[in-house]
Amino acid sequence: MLDVVLLQIMKYRKEFQRLMRTVPVASIDPKTKALLDDFGKYFEKFDHDRIDLAVFTPRFRQWHPSLTEEQFNSYKGILRQVDQDVDENTRDGILRDLYELSLGTNIANLVTKYDAGDLVMPLSDYISAELDAFKLNVGMKEVKWDDTDILDLLQEDINQDGIKWRLNILNEHMRPMVPGDFGIVAGRPDKGKTSFMSSEVTFMAAQLADDKNVLWLNNEGPSGRIRKRLYQSALGLSIRELVEMAEDPVALKQAYIDAVGRADKIRVVNIHGAHVGQVEAIIENSNPGIIIYDMIDNIKGFGGEARTDLQLEEMYKWARERCVKYECIGIAASQISNEGDGMQFPTLGMLKDSKTGKQGACDFQLMIGASNDLNLQYSRFIGLPKNKLRREDMPGDPHAEVTFKPNIARFEDLEYGS
């Protein structure tokens, strides 16, 4: 009886397309399986919303020339029943059983992949997506679409709301950053990449809402080194000057709070050796307004792809998706490959281990260029070979020289004529 009801439901194109992948092939009668397969052929051949048995039956006979007359008559008996429609309550019950069976099978498959280390995102994300699909199918959840009023959407552009950079050259060429934006900041080793990030986030932190934080996911050196650099950048002081100021520890800490907004506004969390699921849990519990990924490339759990560039592409897609999921800004630190060494303005494809993968996942790619000329040792060159945040009246790439002040961990705009 189940097989006949299944055929009665799936003689409609809409239900066939929704259900074909969920049908438990091993549990249905071979005749039902043969008819369902030919339903698929029929829908490919004819633009009908429903199986027309007067058209289907002779075609079925042609597709199976080896059937005896007795066997064909048996199929015709089934098809006569299929021509009837099932009542709504029976239909809904069968559909729910199929969706539950599909849900259980899909989750079991996900657990197997999780055990093998083949999942890119946390297992909970996949299970949540499967549950959402199940709820939509059985009518327990409504589809939500974005119906935000266009005037509200344009208000951001009118008011220029968002997070601004310390470097004015970037503010001139990029609109303010808003939740969902994701960018890459890249530089050669020991050319000031961490100082650049520190310089910028200590300026951005105070622009965030009071309850939002900057989450710095540290996957490289000691976190204490970053913490000291944050104090340097926030206050514009050298380590020697910080030591002198520390004679009055209350004044030192208050000065930092005044600069960034709160003592724990910028939270440095060590994630050395962490798996993607652990990193997700940290993000979820940190209420971030900005996430600094330093560096995504070292996060474990993206081993599903054989090639390094494809693994990295999955990592950066994952990071971008966190920006949307947690309504925050994401900035990922990366390295410029050896071919960009000594170049003032490295090009788009000069990210380490990636010609296009990382780049495709970001809204902007900021390259910190540096010359090997000793006369330019404190000069850095800011390029934006990719800039989807470009201001309408400005070129996307500033190609600008700025000043790097390593003693106070700041990048500052070049002052011409001074």
Residues composing the chain: 418
pLDDT in tens, 66-81: 999 999 999 999 898 8
State phi, psi for 408 to the nearest 5 degrees. -120, 10
In a domain, 51, yes or no: yes
8 A C-beta contact, residue 223 and residue 373: no
Count of the separate structural domains present in the chain: 2
8 A C-beta contact, residue 234 and residue 260: yes
For residues 316 and 383, state if they share a domain: yes
> Residue 379: which of 342, 350, 337, 347 has the closest Cα?
342
In a domain, 291, yes or no: yes
Pick from 39-48, 255-264, 276-285: least confident? 276-285
Mean pLDDT of 26-30: 75
In a domain, 61, yes or no: yes
Among 73, 102, 137, the domain-final residue is: 137
- Spatial distance between the Cα atoms of 174 and 395, rounded to a whole number of angstroms: 9
Of residues 323 and 309, the one with the higher pLDDT is: 323
Residue 336: alpha-carbon gap to chain centroid: 22
For residues 125 and 161, state if they share a domain: no
In a domain, 96, yes or no: yes
For residues 160 and 128, state if they share a domain: no
In this prediction, residue 246 carries a pLDDT of 95
Mean pLDDT of 259-265: 96
- Does the bond joining 350 to the residue before it have cis omega, within 30 degrees of 0? no
One-character DSSP codes across 275-330: BHHHHHHHHHTT-EEEEEEETGGG-B--TTSSSHHHHHHHHHHHHHHHHHHTT-EE
Does the pTM surpass 0.75? The reply is no
Element housing 381 (H / E): strand 379-387
Domain housing 210: 155-413
For residues 123 and 255, state if they share a domain: no
For residues 270 and 366, state if they share a domain: yes
CATH of the domain at 212: 3.40.50.300
For residues 181 and 131, state if they share a domain: no
For residues 74 and 193, state if they share a domain: no
- Give me 209's structure tokens: 């809402």
For residues 202 and 245, state if they share a domain: yes
pLDDT in tens, 308-322: 666 777 888 889 999
Among 137, 163, 189, the domain-final residue is: 137
Residue 74, number of CB atoms within 10 A of its CB: 13
